[in-house]
Amino acid sequence: MQKIKGRLLYMGWFNLPWKLVTDKGEIDLWSIVNEFLTSFNGKRADHKQERDSYTLAADGSSEFQFKYIPGKCIILEKLEGFGVSNVHTYLAEALGWLSGRMVEIEIENGKRIKFATDKSEKVYGVYFGDGNSCEVPKGIEKTVCKAGQHDCCIFLHAGVGGFLCMKFNSPFARISLDRLANDDIYASRIGNCAILGRKTPQKVAEA
């Protein structure tokens, strides 16, 4: 098994290289992932995305088979009948959520690949609000997001009621990452914040 640890600076699927900054220097993660995807073609498999990880693994009992055609599709296709799960969509979103974070990657060609956050890194966490935008508590836009500074996080957005973190709003985040890759944005930093889920509405106590 190959294990790699470093800070992921992913800027979008087609914005190469996929930068991973390790203790030994910067490496292109795309070449490693592409080798895995190629080795995994045709395997019965399943995948799982969580807030802080993504796993694609072989599973002999799965009803789905992995299909990889470079530049065309990365899917899990049902062996009998109709059914498709778009691996590209889930993996790209997961990489966007993990970008900026210290990550640990485990790879067994033909068997399994897993991306997960390094639990030892302490980061600021935000909660989903309306849609998938996240409220930035007052003051945090200065201390964490670095509003108005050159190292401002690219996902900081000024909303009507205050600042929002758009890192976990995937369509918006893709645009921000693409602008960063093309040097078309003043902000320069991929923030390392984590998503904590949704806050559970507080029940009003009965009189």
- Across the strands, what pairs with 171? none
Q: Are residues 99 and 175 in the same domain?
A: no
pLDDT at 207 over 50: no
Boundary residue ending a domain (117, 134, 162): 117
The 10s digit of each residue's pLDDT in 57-73 is 999 999 999 999 998 99
Residue 13: inside a domain = yes
Q: Are 12 and 178 spatial neighbours (Cβ–Cβ below 8 Å)?
A: yes
User: For the chain, what is the domain count?
Assistant: 2
The 10s digit of each residue's pLDDT in 131-165 is 789 999 999 999 999 999 989 999 999 988 899 99
d(CA 190, CA 101): 9
Q: Are 200 and 130 spatial neighbours (Cβ–Cβ below 8 Å)?
A: no
Provide the H-helix boundaries in 41-134: 87-98
The 10s digit of each residue's pLDDT in 74-106 is 999 999 988 999 999 999 999 999 999 999 999
Q: Which residues of 166-203 are buried (b: 16+ CB within 10 A; e: fewer)?
A: bbbbbebbbebbbbbeeeeeebebbbbbbbeeeeeeee
Q: Are residues 188 and 130 in the same domain?
A: yes
Of 78, 60, 77, 59, give the one whose Cα is nearest residue 68. Answer: 77
Of 192, 49, 167, give the one whose Cα is nearest residue 115. Answer: 49
E strand or H helix at 175: helix 170-181
Q: Are 189 and 146 spatial neighbours (Cβ–Cβ below 8 Å)?
A: yes
Q: Are residues 74 and 167 in the same domain?
A: no
Q: Are residues 150 and 190 in the same domain?
A: yes
According to the model, what pLDDT value does residue 174 have?
A: 96
- Give the pTM: 0.92
